[in-house]
A = this chain, B = another copy of it.
Amino acid sequence: MNKNAYAPTPPMGWNSYDYYDTTVTEAEVRANARYMADHLKQYGWEYIVVDIEWYAKKAGSMRSLFQYIPFSELEMDEYSRLLPDPERFPSSAGGNGFRPLADYIHSLGLKFGIHIMRGIPRIAAHSHTKVLGSALGAERIADPAMICGWNPDMYGVRNIPEGQAYYDSLIALYASWGVDYIKCDDICNTNMHKNPYAASHEVEMLSKAIEKCGRPIVLSLSPGPALIEKAWHYEKYANMWRITDDFWDSWDLLKDMFQRCELWQNHVLEGCYPDCDMLPVGSLGKGFGEERLTRFTYEEQKTMMTLWCLFGSPLMLGAELTKLDDTTLSLLTNEKVLAMLPPDVRPHQIMRTDTYATWYEKDSVTGQTYLALFNLSDAPGDITLSLADADLFGDSLTLEELWTNNEKIVTDGSLTERLMAHSCALYCSR
Contacts and interface: CB of A to CB of B under 8 A. Distances in A.
Contact of A262 (B194, B232, B349): B232
A71 B265 contact: no
A140 B391 CA distance: 36
A405 to B, nearest CB: 31
Contacts of A194: 192, 194
A342 to B, nearest CB: 17
A25 to B, nearest CB: 26
Interface stretch (A27-35, A118-126, A249-257): A118-126
Contacts of A128: 71
A144 to B, nearest CB: 3
Contacts of A394: none
Contacts of A267: 266
19 contacts: A2-B388, A2-B391, A70-B139, A71-B126, A71-B139, A71-B142, A123-B126, A126-B126, A144-B147, A144-B152, A145-B149, A147-B147, A192-B192, A192-B193, A194-B194, A228-B263, A231-B263, A231-B266, A232-B262
A228 B232 CA distance: 13
A72 to B, nearest CB: 8
Interface in A266-297: 266-267, 269
Interface string A217-261: 000000000001101100010000000000000000000000000
Contacts of A145: 147-150, 152, 192
Given A71-B125, A192-B192, A232-B349, 9 more contacts: A2-B393, A71-B128, A71-B139, A144-B147, A228-B263, A229-B263, A232-B265, A236-B350, A266-B267
A71 B24 CA distance: 33
Given A192-B194, A263-B229, A144 B71 contact: yes
A125 B70 contact: yes
Interface of A: 2, 70-71, 122-123, 125-126, 128, 139, 142, 144-145, 147-150, 152, 192-194, 228-229, 231-232, 236, 262-263, 265-267, 269, 349-351, 388-389, 391, 393
Please list the 6 inter-chain residue pairs (A to B) with the smallest Cβ-Cβ separation, ordered nearest first.
A144-B152, A71-B139, A70-B144, A266-B266, A126-B126, A71-B125
Contacts of A389: 236
Contacts of A236: 350-351, 389
A350 B236 CA distance: 8
Contacts of A150: 145
A389 B208 CA distance: 12
Contacts of A263: 228-229, 231-232
Contacts of A269: 266
A148 B123 CA distance: 18
A3 to B, nearest CB: 10
A192 to B, nearest CB: 7
A204 to B, nearest CB: 10
Contacts of A349: 232
Contacts of A232: 262-263, 265, 349
A396 to B, nearest CB: 18
Nearest to A137: B71
A232 B54 CA distance: 41
Contacts of A262: 232
Contacts of A351: 236
Nearest to A145: B149
Contacts of A148: 145
A269 B147 CA distance: 39
A232 B350 CA distance: 8
Nearest to A269: B266
Nearest to A261: B232
Contacts of A192: 145, 192-194
Contacts of A388: 2
A147 B349 CA distance: 30
A46 to B, nearest CB: 26
Nearest to A2: B391
Contacts of A350: 236
A299 B66 CA distance: 42
